[in-house]
Structure 1
Amino acid sequence: MSSRHALAPVRSVDDHRQRIEDLLRPLAARATEAVPMDRALGRRLSADVYSPLDLPVFRNSSMDGYAVRAESVAIVPVTLPLSGVVAAGNTGAATLPAGGAMKVMTGAPIPAGADCVVPVEHTQSDGATVTIERSRAAGDFVREAGTDVRTGQLLAAAGTLLKPRHIAALAAVGLPELPVYRRVRAAVITTGDELVQAGLRLLPGQIYNSNGLALAAALTENGAEVVSLAHSTDDHREFRRRLHEAVTAADVVFTSGGVSMGDFEVVKEVLSGLGGEFGHVAMQPGGPQGITVVEGTPVLNFPGNPVSTMVSFDMLARPILRELSGLPAITSTELPLLAALHSPAGKRQLLRGKLTPEGVEPLAGQGSHLIATMAQADVLIDIPAADTEVPAGTVVRTWSL
């Protein structure tokens, strides 16, 4: 591989992440869209949303009962003539005669001239008249227009993650669509002759492919839309075909495997000829890394060990994807270390840890193939490259998983 395609001999985690962010941040210029209300759940608003109308839109009854004037029922019991029924959804203009009553349903418009509602359980009616058994004050059981929302009022701020309660309020004011951050379209390609799809029988030397599903889940959790999930053997032609399909469909492509120093590194071998940059990042796990731009699409090349793949995503790609999706940044937390650690010099260690009330406990078995240990972890313990011995009780930086 020519030197122009190589990374610096060792690049820091921060430098490599910055390189990725520089490639992906231009996606922000086209990272918003309008979506129909019925597809807005779980999306993040890209702009403030204001109400186009008052809510309630009109004066309406909060009870099934009888619309009257409070002065007509000041002394009870009193019998009043009925002059009609107003149902919910009635679009005609009803007017209450002086000294009369009109039957109203919950949500029905209050007739002009009425100022309160007597619930039906406090009345007796023969169909022509109604006897009111309890007095009511003006305003009782009347929902005035605009008492919930006023025209121009802020309903939901930019950045709001839309939940059912937000959808209810935004739909109630008649908005047909909402401005949201467009999900980054991501494609995933796993590589390796040894990987087998779940459900198939394993032959000697084969393992199940967990990286594809894990990366797709991580992308979805962090605001991306996975448009393609594919696997390639170590055959160059097959990988080229998968790559072309991925860069055609996606804004960014993630590959897993094929970037180390072995004899069958299909990703590195194919992409080096396309200007790919490959080398080591000073982190463990996840040292071997690559970056390529193919047909204008960034392609991020992660190592194939399951934990290396996931740590690479969390430390290198997760921050910018969350930014592009309008999701809040994941910030580090400092906690006391509950057991001493040894760390090799020159590599930033990202160790799996379990949270306890007392601090963070490193999990046994930190090998990059030990995916079950990753499932037990709550955080990554971030040990700087310069620290080789970290005593118990040291306050360390952690990143949530």
Structure 2
Amino acid sequence: MKRGSFELMKKMNQQVILKLIYNEKAISRAEIAEITGLSPATVTNITKGILGLGLIKETIHGESRGGRKPVLLEINPSGAYFIGLEWGIAELRGVLMDLNKKVVAYSEKRINSYQLDNFIELSASIIGEFYEHSIEKEKICGLGVGVHGIVDPMRGYSLFAPHFKWRNIPLKARLEEEFDLPVLLDNDVRAMALAEKWNGRDNFLFINTGSGIGAAIVMDGKLHYGRDYSAGEFGHMTLDKKGPLCSCGKRGCVEAFVSTDRLVYNYNEELNEELSHHTLQTEWSKLLNDARSGIEKAVFLLEGAVEYLGLGLANLVNLLNPEEILLAGDFIEGADLLLPLLKKKIKNNTLNIPGSKLQIEVSTFGEWVGAIGGATMVLEQLFNFQEGV
């Protein structure tokens, strides 16, 4: 075997074993050999190397099958760390995550400018905070960033971020130069879906609600990107070609009916259209509270939004047959009002088979799901072999 081929196979085997230890929580070398089909000698050599890297540790003795009890191997939580950032429309959120996927630090900064330098400055502030947690920089495996809009994760480019007015920005190269860390980049909603995928979900739709409406598609445990990395533009599915004008320039898109900004302005037509995102969030909370109080206009607007969102999601369910739909973003604040209505609308508009066992829930990670997804990008690269990485 050529030297390069040997090193390739060795790296693949390392990642297979590391992921097995991660999934099993605690496992013996003999069990690793039995499950993977690798020889005991190979397992011993590879685990010795991973132990040397500090990624795993020996722990309590397992059950004996006769003779001496085996030593078990488990993940060393402090063996590696991952930084995740979500570059949102109103806030920039960051997390520091350990090797057991536990978040050990959170940070949030308000965005006051969509200039790239401002995002980098805020990111630097968050990363600086994380370095103060007495963690050796060498243990930080990299930085994962979720950015709104269309992102090319292979080249690390923001192809189009409409709210930021960005086109073809080489973010990965700029961030790696700035922070001296390996950087991974993806669309913010796909990053959110990745966090949930690592929670054991394999077939689901992830829907982010707010000023814009975005989706990520996970089928058979894999994120779907599309030819040009633009899969998931659910907000621009046309529901009524004579409907209201959308931000994309077309009429009757899901986003034109469901965007929380649109709902707020429709509820209070006297509002200045140049309101900050933070003021709009306050107005959104007021709209929800008024609906809870039974104010007719508020109830009417929310029921209309759910009608259109449910119709759009029912189309996706009939097309893709997911096990679950997970919701994130602004609609979570009104889940008590909106989720029961949404479930009913989807059920009424789906075929019996794809709709019969469908689960509709809110994201388990709340407002931090995007940043956690960013950190998970780097974690996934550590566990999943990619040639050339």
Fold match (TM-score > 0.5): no
| TM-score, normalised relative to structure 1 | 0.28
